[in-house]
Amino acid sequence: MPTGAAPLRQLDAPAVHELTATAQKILADLGSSATSPELLRRVALSAARLGETIRHPCRPVDTDDGLYVLRGLHVDDGGVGPSPASWAVAGDSAAEWDVLLLLLAAVMGHPIAWQGQQGGRFVHNIVPSPGHEQEQTGASSAVLLSPHTEDAFHPGRAHLLLLACMRNHDAVATTAASVRKVRLDPDDMALLSRPVLPILPDDAYTEARSFTGEPPKVPVLWQTENGPTLRYDPAYTPLDEAPADYRAAYDRLTAELERVSVAVALEPGDVLVVDNDLVVHGRVPFRARYDGTDRWLKRASVRVPGRRTRPLAEADEHGYGQAALVAHL
């Protein structure tokens, strides 16, 4: 797996100053909670006034890589405090970064949150948590976090995923693979474009996992005028219920995604921007210390207005009862 092979976009010093000053002004005026409706409105208004030196690096993903690293922002390792023991106790830790990430998200589209995940917060704290080491969620550490589409179970999932690095002393890599780089024969493409199996909610969504409606069958691949898009989460797809030819095609897709996968070890201040329709992402295993120095990312999800990259039939899905909260003017 190649390491660090991600396109880089640099924020220059004036852009960093503008972003940082804007975030600090919002916090000074409205307090530290990045969950209040007033703060979210202020973020949207402020993002609309940010200059071209910020907007140009935040332009849409424009290569088949399906991602880029936005670099130039800075993290004060001592100033942000210890890595939280879990998202549930993180509160407003490193609140300035919550606002920075929301400003970037608002430049790119509309930030979204989920009522059933991390208390409806628009910025999530991703840290290893005791007792969750073996799970297929962001709180795990000891296992490979399988490559997946973020919130693949839901028709209203994000178009873009932003991962900001607060701390990564051990250079733990995020993995990523673009569907635009895989090689599949037409028969496999056709088979995986059929709605054969559901994608179930992951363990982070307790209420969704108890939803009693019939799970909708969904396609894994979808052809657009610009190329294929992807909806993929093998850890939560009941593959044993599929016919043998479908499982074989799915396995070939998995092998291709592994072949083209890259490993990106984010540095503090880096923001990885992932096109969630093109790229599956995961994480390599690591040993958590639980001493306040573990890997710590912040995550924001973004919908892009007017984007048409998904089958129309997704509009009829129930989303396992999960509702998205959308931040916009």
For the chain, which residues make up each domain, given as ranges? 8-326
Asked whether 256 and 221 are in contact (CB, 8 A), the reply is no
Angstrom distance (rounded) from CA 158 to CA 117 = 14
The distance of Cα 234 from the centroid of its chain, to the nearest Å, equals: 17
Q: Give the pLDDT band (50/70/90) at residue 33.
A: low
Instruction: Give pLDDT tens digits for 192-248.
Output: 999 999 999 988 888 888 898 899 999 999 999 899 999 999 999 999 999 999 999
Query: What's the CATH fold of domain 8-326?
Result: Double-stranded beta-helix (3.60.130)
Any bridge partners for residue 299, and if so which? Answer: 124, 163
Q: Give the pLDDT band (50/70/90) at residue 3.
A: very low
Max mean pLDDT among 115-124, 134-143, 266-275 falls in 266-275
**pLDDT for residue 88:** 87
Amino acid at 192: L
Q: What is the pTM for the complete model shown?
A: 0.95
Res. 320: pLDDT tops 60: yes
Q: At what angle do helices 95-108 and 13-30 cross, to 10 degrees?
A: 120
Computed over every residue of the chain, the mean pLDDT equals 93
Q: How far is CA 162 from CA 58, 159, 244, in A?
A: 11, 10, 36
DSSP strand E in the chain: where? Answer: 8-10, 67-71, 110-114, 124-126, 145-148, 160-167, 174-178, 221-224, 227-230, 262-264, 271-275, 279-283, 296-303, 324-326
Alpha helices in 109-232 (DSSP H): 186-192, 206-209
Res. 1: pLDDT tops 60: no
